[in-house]
């Protein structure tokens, strides 16, 4: 499934094996304990996982998301953009698409964890209807930090 971004020139599509190096590079930049190439490659074969990339017409892969879908529950495991593409509304576009895919897969409750200090992400998630339902103490390493556990109830009748 593809979707062209509001700003034009962007396609959100399923990750392909030739996208792995770009996604691993984004992952390494965005997270202090990044997943490796083998982890992403192993997820390509799993039916319960949606691996999505944001492909810019000229620049190539500028972002990605990993969504787990198990029955009526989902987890947004990772979502990230290249630093030069942050702050342009693309994260909102990607999140909207992820939520739509989750809804299409029958997900009713979508969970995620986010660093307590990541105020920009917390604000983004709240603007999409996520609310805090718990805290995972010491969830993140390097630096050690708590995670806010958030959930959104998806409307399976809307397009997101």
**Active-site residue set:** 113, 125
CA distance 21 to 31: 16
Token pair belonging to 10: 């962007």
Q: What is the DSSP string of 12-71?
A: EEE--GGGHHHHHHHHHHH-SS---HHHHHHHTT-TTEEEEEEEETTTEEEEEEEEEEET
**Torsions phi, psi for 142 (to 5 deg):** 55, 65
CA distance 50 to 15: 8
């Amino acid at each position: 499934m593809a979707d062209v971004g509001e700003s034009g020139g962007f396609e959100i599509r399923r990750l392909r094996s030739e996208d792995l190096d770009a996604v691993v590079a984004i992952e390494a930049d965005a997270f202090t304990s990044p997943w490796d190439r083998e982890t992403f490659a192993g997820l390509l074969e799993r039916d319960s996982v949606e691996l999505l990339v944001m492909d810019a017409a000229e620049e190539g892969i500028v972002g990605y998301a990993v969504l787990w879908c198990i029955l009526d529950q989902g987890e947004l495991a990772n979502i990230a953009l290249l630093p030069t593409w942050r702050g342009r509304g693309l994260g909102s576009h990607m999140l909207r698409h992820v939520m739509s895919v989750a809804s299409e897969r029958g997900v009713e409750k979508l969970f995620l964890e986010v660093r307590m200090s990541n105020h920009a992400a917390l604000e983004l998630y709240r603007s999409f209807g996520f609310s805090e339902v718990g805290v995972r103490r010491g969830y993140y390493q390097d630096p050690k930090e708590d995670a806010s556990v958030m959930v959104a109830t998806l409307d399976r009748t809307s397009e997101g």
